[in-house]
Chain A
Amino acid sequence: MTEKYIAKDALGALITVVTSNGGRFVAPTLDARQVVYKEVTAAEAVVDVNDYILPRNSYKEIAFPQTEVLYKYELTRSGVDIDPVEVVARQTVVFGARPCEAASLASLNAVFTWDFIDEDFTKREESIVVLSVGCVNADDECFCTTVNLSPESTTGADVALYETENGYVATAITEKGTAFVEAHAGSFVDVAKGETKKTLATVEKVEGVDLTKLGERLAKTKNYDSPEWAELVRKCCGCGACTYSCPTCHCFDITDEGTAFEGERRKNWDACQFDHFTLHASGHNPRDTQYKRYRNRFMCKFHIYPTKFNSTGCVGCGRCIRVCPVRLDITDLMTAMSK
């Protein structure tokens, strides 16, 4: 598809059209003094693309909510009534997604669809239209190029936007993206002559990381007990912040809220960093110390996702580094494990 152009001034009209057609428009906006992906109804609420590196939250929560009701139950005379919650996903446009993060939904999809299909996820995912914006700015925590993505990559984006002085040059990447651009021809117009894309940020590769070597090392079971794990991860306090902010972490819990008489069953985010996560009823815990839990997460990103799900486990967004209260840098582990 040929390139199109959307003026920054035209964003408001696009939001109006999307929302008036019953869709949702999600964009970086301020919430509790932080830039987060959240539903907006007007262009004024959208934070300028140069005023943030990456929103605080991942937009995975659109397809995989922090908490969702699977069904309601009620005790009756004859037993129990179950009232399933039908997921009816409205079109959800994610504007301003960063290219790193855009790559993550496909990874989550791999987990939620291998063999058994989690339709709560797939229905919502199908409804998402990702409008990514190439990164003109990056910070010290960004490491997308180390995991083979970049400020301009289009993986997972439906429409890739690149900033110009007063707007964005838009390229539809997927059929869904093409359909979206065509359906909003009033907003996406021909590119005017002389419209120039801004220079994108340069993100240096982390020296010493070799994903092939890293993968090979993790694939060998004998390296699993290397004393390095405990040494490198000692300062991890097990708070799980990395997992909640990570766009590819998929762990969840299934739990009831209510009484034996009535209530609802929910699917809630969980984290492999907590000791009770794998604790057996007997008291035995296969991951009984923090380094084992960290090791599991690291394995998930750099061995399980790539080999089992043939997808990217880490998109290099750097959120886990930014939110870590003890300044544990995943790229340090990647470097150490590349040797």
Chain B
Amino acid sequence: MSNLYIPNLVTIEDVYEETPDTRSFRLVFKDEELREKFEFKTGQFGIYSAFGLGESTFCIASSPTRKGYIQCTYRKTGRVTNALGELSIGDTMGFRGPYGNHFPIEEWKGKNIVFVAGGIALPPVRSVIWNVLDRREDFGDVTIVYGAKTVADLVYKEELKHWDERPDVKLIQTVDPGGETDDWEGKVGFVPTVLEEAGVPAENTIAVVCGPPIMIKFCLNALGELGFSDEAVYTTLENKMKCGVGKCGRCNVGDIYICKEGPVYTATEIKAMYDDF
């Protein structure tokens, strides 16, 4: 094995401005052989380089059912993400990965799935959504509950529109009170409340939840109220990471290294962890 920390080079093939501070990149490996043979599983993450500034960790937001490229979505909040914000089509960046475990989606065949996401946490869920929708006949009802602070903060607006129009997907969008616009047709309220009000049946249903820690906490409660067992609820944790390979000592929650044993966990596993979120 060559050096663990050396990234593969990727070319930015496309850029999507999601919100004023959030962008997505469609990335392809420069190495043609790698482009062909690269595989990942839904829920895995990567470590992305902006040369000169360092690395940042994001999930792979595209689905393994869409081959030949990976997509990532990031918010411009720090040094590295601001540098990535300056890059454009044709530019080169670095990618290490895929790392971590994945959603056991093969075990969910025949089940209904409810996706719950808040703000910038839709990207990891997006990978699962497309993985399910690309094999739509394998699954039962699909419900997506997505919320953000304001209408402007909703990411993947084109895809939301597409999902909304699909008869085989139930999309519930919400924004926090005060975040609505005059022409907003979705709900107004916090994600956990909207989720509970939606009354998604728990029977034969898997829930995939991703959001800020506080949202996850309240959503787990809401799903419990709806009758979901902890075993049927999955989430993905996103602690700060540097190495991605269980060595740099940052992402651990007690004795669990999120980068190696996670980032995907059931609510049962989350509740058994040290309170170190």
Point out residues on A near B: beta carbons under 8 Å.
70-71, 73, 75, 79-80, 82, 84, 111-112, 114-120, 221, 224-225, 250-256, 258-261, 263, 265, 267, 270, 272, 277-282, 284, 286-287, 292, 296, 299-300, 303-304, 307-308
Contacts and interface: CB of A to CB of B under 8 A. Distances in A.
Given A71-B5, A221-B275, 18 more contacts: A114-B246, A115-B245, A119-B1, A221-B273, A224-B254, A252-B243, A253-B242, A254-B5, A254-B242, A272-B250, A277-B240, A279-B240, A281-B75, A281-B81, A282-B212, A299-B254, A304-B252, A304-B254
B276 interface: yes
Nearest to B3: A84
B30 interface: yes
Listed from nearest, the 8 A-B pairs whose CB atoms lie closest are A251-B249, A79-B92, A260-B52, A116-B245, A281-B77, A80-B92, A224-B274, A256-B54
Contacts of B238: 280
Chain A CB within 10 Å — which of B243, B260, B272, B274 has the most?
B274
30 contacts: A71-B6, A79-B92, A84-B6, A111-B247, A115-B260, A116-B245, A119-B4, A120-B3, A221-B254, A221-B274, A250-B249, A251-B248, A254-B54, A256-B51, A256-B52, A260-B50, A260-B53, A261-B52, A263-B52, A277-B240, A277-B250, A278-B239, A280-B239, A284-B212, A286-B253, A299-B255, A299-B274, A303-B255, A307-B255, A308-B255
B9 A82 contact: yes
Interface in B226-277: 238-240, 242-243, 245-250, 252-255, 260, 272-277
Q: At the interface, is chain A mostly helix, strand, loop or mixed?
A: mixed
B173 interface: no
Nearest to B5: A70
Q: At the interface, is chain B mostly helix, strand, loop or mixed?
A: loop
Chain A CB within 10 Å — which of B30, B52, B275, B277 has the most?
B52
Given A119-B4, A265-B5, A284-B212, A79 B30 contact: yes
Nearest to B74: A281
B3 A116 contact: no
A112 B247 contact: yes
Contact of B1 (A117, A252, A255): A117
Contact of A116 (B4, B240, B250): B4
Contacts of A263: 51-52
B178 interface: no
A79 B94 CA distance: 11
A112 B213 CA distance: 29
Interface string B39-62: 000000000011111111000000
Chain A CB within 10 Å — which of B53, B249, B255 has the most?
B249
A71 B239 contact: no
A304 B240 contact: no
